[in-house]
Structure 1
Amino acid sequence: MAPRPLGPLVLALGGATAVLGSVLFILWKVYFGRDREQRWDGSEAWWGADPVHLPEWDPEDEEEEDPALEEMEQREVLVLGLDGSGKTTFLRVLAGKPPLDDHIPTWGFNSVRLPTRNFEVDLLEIGGSQNLRFYWKEFVNEVDVLVFVVDSADRQRLQWAQQELHKLLDKDPDLPVVVVANKQDLSEAMNVVELQQELALHALNSQREVFLLAASIAPSGPGFNQPGTVHIWKLLLELLS
């Protein structure tokens, strides 16, 4: 079934929200401005959810002698995906906040700042509704890593997710991409091998750094102990270091 056309008022509100988000993002970039540089020397992509390449996460590792706040460098991560894929829940889990019981679509953007030992990570999520996706491409050249969250059980919209992802990748051929195959706990979820095909990841430039990780970032649960969350965070730290 084709999506219903959005009413003029809804489009206007969505556009205004996205413009406001753009302005705030620009101010955020000016305040924390720095030159972007390539930080990952990965010569091979890592497909699947096998965590053997990633060390175990230990909270104490992030608490040892952090530099003073004003001296810490910034890293920016853009978190995108269709509405309902789990982007907001992902940010809340990383921030140590309880996930929301009910799904509330993001009409603008959400942001989270996470300190690590050597730098701070700013994660920016932009809403995934149809009228906000137009603005995604304006941000991909301003960040260090793209996280693209996919609802593994939403088979009807996987083609849309593929199209939106490839549009973003066309905008920046050097941007590392972490594709999160979310909702793997659902019985109808596609596995990572199927998603690699459905998202046409095999067709990407072999020089691009693309990672596909399975996850189950549920709207309830023990935060960082949820399957996949630790591995995603550790991979992000590797890419940003």
Structure 2
Amino acid sequence: MRQVLVLGLEGAGKSSVLHYISSEAAKDRTAPTQGFNSVQVSAEGFQIDLLELGGSQNLRFYWNQYLSQAHVLVFVVDSADEPGLPAARQELHWLLAEDPRLPLVVLANKQDKRDALSVAELHRELALHTLNGQRDFFLLPTSATHAALATAISIRRVRSLLVELLSQL
């Protein structure tokens, strides 16, 4: 079993990303995660356990306790929540300092929103340039909503990247 830890601030779209990775069925609404969600996906002869921890302030305290079991960290960011980006950057860099070797996949979610920042803008806002050469990291645009035409393609790309990273273990 290979574990992917899915983190991000509240409202970033973590549960929706999990839903679309494990099932391509459309979903109208997703309730905020009160604790954690877990889904298992079979891929290329192995099981992937996707564990999402809620992003509210009181749950972030527990995030680092799950890092040691994770093989990949997925950090979901709401691309349209510019006021929340400093907090997202702070939490992300705190996690990365806790485990400097863990591969990182940042999902620039909600790209379907008109006021969403581009991947390049998020790269700068999240200070990802400071990671160069330190670890494997990827920044992918996603739109985990049933209304977005790009959802199936962007989430399939995330899933195949996770399979690729985990098959190298």
TM-score by length of 2: 0.92
Q: Equivalences for 1:107-126 in 2 at 5 Å?
A: 107-126=34-53
1:227 Cα deviation after fit: 3.9
Mark the CA change 1:144 to 1:86 in structure 2 (over 3 Å): closer, same or farther: same
Whether the 8 Å CA contact 1:96–1:223 is kept in 2: the answer is no
The secondary structure found in structure 1 opposite 2:58 is coil
Equivalent residue, structure 2, for 1:79: 6
Whether the 8 Å CA contact 2:142–2:151 is kept in 1: the answer is no
Equivalent residue, structure 2, for 1:228: 154
Equivalent residue, structure 2, for 1:17: none
Q: Distance in 1 between matches of 2:97 and 2:151?
A: 34
Whether the 8 Å CA contact 2:38–2:50 is kept in 1: the answer is yes
Q: Distance in 2 between matches of 1:177 and 1:107?
A: 24
Greater shift, 94-103 or 181-190, is seen at 94-103
Choose which of 7, 28, 42 in structure 2 pairs with 1:101. Answer: 28
Q: Equivalences for 1:39-50 in 2 at 5 Å?
A: none
Query: Could you tell me which amino acid in structure 1 is paired with residue 49 of structure 2?
Result: D
Query: Could you tell me which amino acid in structure 2 is paired with residue 136 of structure 1?
Result: W
Mark the CA change 1:98 to 1:223 in structure 2 (over 3 Å): closer, same or farther: farther
Q: Distance in 2 between matches of 1:205 and 1:186?
A: 29
Choose which of 185, 191, 209 in structure 1 pairs with 2:118. Answer: 191
Equivalent residue, structure 2, for 1:138: 65
Task: Tell me whether 1:90 sits opposite 2:17 in the alignment.
Answer: yes
Query: Could you tell me which amino acid in structure 1 is paired with residue 78 of structure 2?
Result: D
Whether the 8 Å CA contact 1:94–1:223 is kept in 2: the answer is no
Q: Distance in 1 between matches of 2:159 and 2:113?
A: 22
The secondary structure found in structure 2 opposite 1:207 is coil
Counting strand residues as a fraction of each chain, which structure ranks higher? 2
Equivalent residue, structure 1, for 2:80: 153
Structure 1 gaps of 5+ residues are 1-73
Equivalent residue, structure 2, for 1:28: none
Q: Distance in 2 between matches of 1:98 and 1:214?
A: 20
Q: Distance in 2 between matches of 1:96 and 1:222?
A: 16
Equivalent residue, structure 2, for 1:128: 55
Whether the 8 Å CA contact 2:44–2:163 is kept in 1: the answer is no
Q: Distance in 2 between matches of 1:95 and 1:234?
A: 12
Query: Could you tell me which amino acid in structure 2 is paired with residue 183 of structure 1?
Result: K
Query: Could you tell me which amino acid in structure 1 is paired with residue 130 of structure 2?
Result: A
1:163-222 deviation digits (Å, cap 9, x = unpaired): 00001000111100000000111110000100000000001252311100001111x258
Equivalent residue, structure 2, for 1:210: 137
1:89-110 deviation digits (Å, cap 9, x = unpaired): 1111122164543342101100
Equivalent residue, structure 2, for 1:237: 163
Query: Could you tell me which amino acid in structure 1 is paired with residue 20 of structure 2?
Result: V
Q: Report percent identity of matched pairs.
A: 51
TM-score by length of 1: 0.66
Q: CA RMSD in A?
A: 1.8
Q: Which runs of 4+ in 1 moved over 3 A?
A: 97-100, 221-225
